[in-house]
């Protein structure tokens, strides 16, 4: 489980409208902004248009936060990251595809360090 200090508070979601960097993929939109802290914080937004069941949306959020927990040492520090999951994913949904796309978007942005 990702520690609470690494989760982005909801009241800061709106401040990420003026994000430093916005990266769009087929399933996800990632917004990145500096936070002037020694840690990075993460937030995930999954609309009820994706799935009406809160249980399913919360399960996906836990999957995203677990991804960040497992890759915390590979991620740049001092940034706020907000991830939006597109409602259009529902038709082509696969957890592995979504997490693969997240990984590739973060690598492309330089936020996720690649270990050889």
All domains of the chain in start order, with CATH: 4-109 (3.30.230.10)
- At 22, is the secondary structure helix, strand, or coil? strand
Token digits for 80?
A: 């706020």
Q: What does pTM read for this prediction?
A: 0.86
**pLDDT 10s per residue in the chain (116 long)?**
888 898 888 777 776 667 678 899 888 999 888 888 899 999 999 988 888 899 989 999 999 999 999 999 999 899 889 999 888 776 667 888 889 999 999 998 888 887 64
Phi, psi dihedral angles at 74 (to 5 degrees): -95, -10
Q: Is 12 exposed, middle or buried (0-12, 13-18, 19+ CB in 10 A)?
A: middle
For residues 40 and 80, the answer to whether their CB atoms sit within 8 Å is yes
| Spatial CB neighbours of 7, under 8 Å, sequence gap ≥ 6 | 41, 42, 43, 65
């Amino acid at each position: 489980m990702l520690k609470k200090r690494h989760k982005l508070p909801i009241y800061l979601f709106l401040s990420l409208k003026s994000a430093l960097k916005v990266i769009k993929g087929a399933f996800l939109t990632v917004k990145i902004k500096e936070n002037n802290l020694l840690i990075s914080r993460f937030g995930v937004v999954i609309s009820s248009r994706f799935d009406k069941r809160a249980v399913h949306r919360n399960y996906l959020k836990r999957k995203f936060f677990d991804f960040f927990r497992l890759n915390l040492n590979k991620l740049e520090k001092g940034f706020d990251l907000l991830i939006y999951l597109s409602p259009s994913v529902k038709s082509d949904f696969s957890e592995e595809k979504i997490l693969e796309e997240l990984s590739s978007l973060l690598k492309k942005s330089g936020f996720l360090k690649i270990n050889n």
